[in-house]
Amino acid sequence: MIWDYYDGKTLFITGGTGFIGTALLCRLLSQSSPKQVYVLCRGGSDKAKAKWSNILPPPVANILTQSKRITILDGELGNTATMNLSEETLQMLKQTVHIVFHAASSVQLHNSLRELAYAVLAPSICLTQYALKFPSLERFVFFSTAYANAHLWKVHESTDVSVDERIYPLGREEEDYYKIALQAWSTIQKTGSSDEYDTHDFPWPYAYAKHLAERLVLQKAVERNKMDKILIIRPSVLGPADRFPYPGFATSEGAPSTACAAAYMLHPGRQIRLSTRCENPDQESTIDEVPVDVVVDRTLVHVALGTSGCVHAVSGEQGRLSTEEWLHAFKKERRIPWKAAPFWTTEDWHSPNLHQMARQFKIIGTSFAFSQERTVRAVEKLGAREMEDLQLFADRSKPCSLRLRRHHIYHQAVQVAKRKKWPVWSARLLCRKGKPVAHLDRKVKA
């Protein structure tokens, strides 16, 4: 059984109070019996417990806040491997940890490369170097993003760009791309940019930072001949859980398409200006939103099966939604019926004329077919009974609905109204009232 693999293991997790980290911890601790889970958190135990109690209903939060198996370490990632931890703690981690889940990251898409060098790249490199010295290390899991390869939209002319579970070098295929990654990293530290970044059209600096981080993590493993220890998980756009820890689980700002719904809710015009190269964008452009529990179960299954390299945690060709399907679900959430429709242009995805959400997310109007071949193959190794209890693929048996995220749409619409200096009642007027999902479902229990 997948869960038996984690029994008696010692784990170290960064980002354990975030969207993925919280869902991952809940799942692990309710299904298996690891020996100890060390959670790195800026602000330590009080901060972590307050965050979990804030985002989870009490019976689920208790799984984390009262677990004897969890030890919260007050520390922070930065440009050294010490994480502000004592030498004694660092030695203890080194001697005991079997699996590292590195989920902490800035998710600020538009921060400059200079900022991301500190918030994404340096911490990932330092932590990888440190973890690869652990004598009992079985797996180092690095959370990247499927959009680390979003520059391929500009490289290809297709209106549906296929992306495989591999590294796409930014130079020529035959070049030593680990060496090139080291050169790029060195240039970024000196100048705040790199030639490969300047010559490829990534939607955001964050996408390139993750692309480079993947290569640098692998490069560190190559140096130590430990490529088999690295698992890179690439989620697409995170969405609320289908099943675990309960249907609809999300953090208030964790799901980007909820932010999009909130901004569209308050859009005053009749047209939302978006960019595309698709001929029938409503039907052809897609959003690959993946439920957070699919990301968690894929990660835990691949770790247990010993997978290494890149794995997509996505909804894939069968599970993604067309823009039309998503907008249909969105319109049902608006209290006052509204005939607004996308106004599609062929402007560049960086164009300042697009709707604010298109300027922020850039990938609206595109379509990526992310391969999930490695998970399809992993499933062949699992028994039918084991599969019943796993959420490895997004459930698309029902039409798309945003009902379970009503509360978060409203909360974010209030933030949008405040930012625009509009009265808060405008959010109340336009958004349907929703309670936090866990309050709707009285069956939520540990």
Ligand X SMILES: NC(=O)c1ccc[n+]([C@@H]2O[C@H](COP(=O)([O-])OP(=O)(O)OC[C@H]3O[C@@H](n4cnc5c(N)ncnc54)[C@H](OP(=O)(O)O)[C@@H]3O)[C@@H](O)[C@H]2O)c1
Q: Of 2, 238, 259, 390, which one interacts with ligand X (CB under 6 A)?
A: 238
Q: Counting contacts by CB under 6 A, is residue 103 touching ligand X?
A: yes
Q: Is 15 exposed, middle or buried (0-12, 13-18, 19+ CB in 10 A)?
A: buried
Listed ranges 161-169, 230-238, 418-426, 430-438: which one lies at the site for ligand X (CB under 6 A): 230-238
User: Least Å distance between CB 236 and ligand X?
Assistant: 6
Q: Of 77, 109, 263, 274, which one interacts with ligand X (CB under 6 A)?
A: 77
Listed ranges 58-66, 100-108, 349-357, 404-412: which one lies at the site for ligand X (CB under 6 A): 100-108
Listed ranges 91-99, 233-241, 385-393, 431-439: which one lies at the site for ligand X (CB under 6 A): 233-241
Residues 26-45 interacting with ligand X (rule: CB under 6 A):
40-42
Q: Which of 320, 261, 264 is nearest to 291 (CA)?
A: 320
Q: Which two tokens stand for residue 368?
A: 């990526």
Residues 311-350 interacting with ligand X (rule: CB under 6 A):
none
Please check whether residue 232 is in contact with residue 309, taking contact to mean a CB–CB distance below 8 angstroms. yes
Listed ranges 16-24, 216-224, 259-267, 388-396: which one lies at the site for ligand X (CB under 6 A): 16-24
Listed ranges 98-106, 280-288, 326-334, 358-366: which one lies at the site for ligand X (CB under 6 A): 98-106
Task: Please say which residue, 47 or 331, places its beta carbon nearer to ligand X.
Answer: 47
DSSP H stretches of helix in 56-112: 58-65, 87-96
Q: Of 74, 76, 115, 164, which one interacts with ligand X (CB under 6 A)?
A: 76
Residue 317 CB contacts under 8 Å (≥ 6 apart), including other chains: 369
- Give 352-408 as a DSSP string: TTS-HHHHHH--TT--EEE--HHHHHHHTTS-HHHHHT---S---SS----GGGHHH
Backbone angles phi, psi at 123, to 5 degrees: -60, -40
Provide the 10 A C-beta neighbour count for residue 137.
17
Q: Which residue is nearest to ligand X (CB)?
A: 18
* Chain residues that interact with ligand X, rule: CB under 6 A: 14-15, 17-21, 40-42, 51, 76-77, 103-107, 123, 143, 145, 235, 237-238, 251, 254, 256
